[in-house]
Structure 1
Amino acid sequence: MDIKIDALIPFDTLQTDMEHVFSIVEKNGKVVLLKDNKPVYIILKYDASQPSATNTIPTETASYTLQEAMKIVLSEAENFTMHASKLADEIYERRLYLQKNGKKAQYTQIRARCGHYPDMFEALPGNYIKLKG
């Protein structure tokens, strides 16, 4: 996101000179409000022709693959072992991995990933997953 220097406005200006803030939004399409010289809010001009201005909800992006997320959680678990459904819940709660649709990985997906990475994980009876090594 490129932001023009005149679009950086102290937050207090919104309270003292709202017309000035919105004139900059009209001019630049956006304003970044600063508190303690740090960005805290962005005001964007609504543009109905832009797809992002529709009723879409942006999905969160997680920064780990499923096997990386499994490794992180299992490395902190007792005996490096956890039930697949609890593992899926913990990965989702910590937002370590999300499916492309923004939903959590199912325990069956967790279990299948064990088969793809037998050097990292062991699938135990009762749907328990163990981190190797």
Structure 2
Amino acid sequence: MEIKLDSLVAFDRIKVDADSVFQTVEKNGKVVLLKDNQPVYIILKYDANMGAIEQEANIETPKYTLQEAMKIVLLEAVDSTMHAAALADEIFNRGLYRQKNGGKAQYNQIRARCGHYPEMFEALPGNMIKLKMV
């Protein structure tokens, strides 16, 4: 089963904004609800021509820690430096890391991770994050 990235939805989102979840189902044909960064439910749009419902979802969940994902993206960035918000967006867009609720890591988490791994990252003025060459 092929899953589009925007079809991965945090489980809690269906409780607070069910309409947007079902709009995504309409758009993509299916939604995978994530809980603790793992798929737990699949919502499929009914199709009379589909026949038997597909049995397995073969969804790859990110296997990187946030600091690993930061390193992957920063290795490809100009001067190994990016703004924390842009870094968070790029990590999410590539599907390298998700929070336990399936959401995107926030820029303040990115900055905090720099403090936890000072040998890997440097937080520069203006919310810029630099990968230290190890």
Q: Which has the higher contact order (CA 8 A, sep 6+)?
A: 2
User: Is this contact kept in 2: 1:60–1:102, CA < 8 A?
Assistant: no
User: Which 4+ stretches in 1 moved above 4 angstroms?
Assistant: none
Q: Secondary structure at the match of 1:43?
A: coil
> C-alpha offsets along residues 94-133 of structure 1, whole Å, 9 cap, x if unaligned?
0000000000000000000000000000000000000001
Overall identity of the aligned pairs, in %: 73
Q: TM (normalized to structure 1)? A: 0.56
Once superposed, what is the RMSD of the aligned Cα atoms? 1.9
Give 1:63 deviation, angstroms.
Answer: 1.0
Q: Secondary structure at the match of 1:126?
A: coil
* Aligned counterparts of 2:54 and 2:95: Cα–Cα separation in 1: 27
Structure 2: where are the runs of 5+ without partners? 1-51
Q: Secondary structure at the match of 2:122?
A: strand
Counting matched residue pairs gives 79
**What residue number does 2:98 align with?**
98
> C-alpha offsets along residues 73-105 of structure 1, whole Å, 9 cap, x if unaligned?
000000000000000000000000000000000
Give 1:61 deviation, angstroms.
Answer: 2.3
The question of 1:84 aligning with 2:84 is answered yes
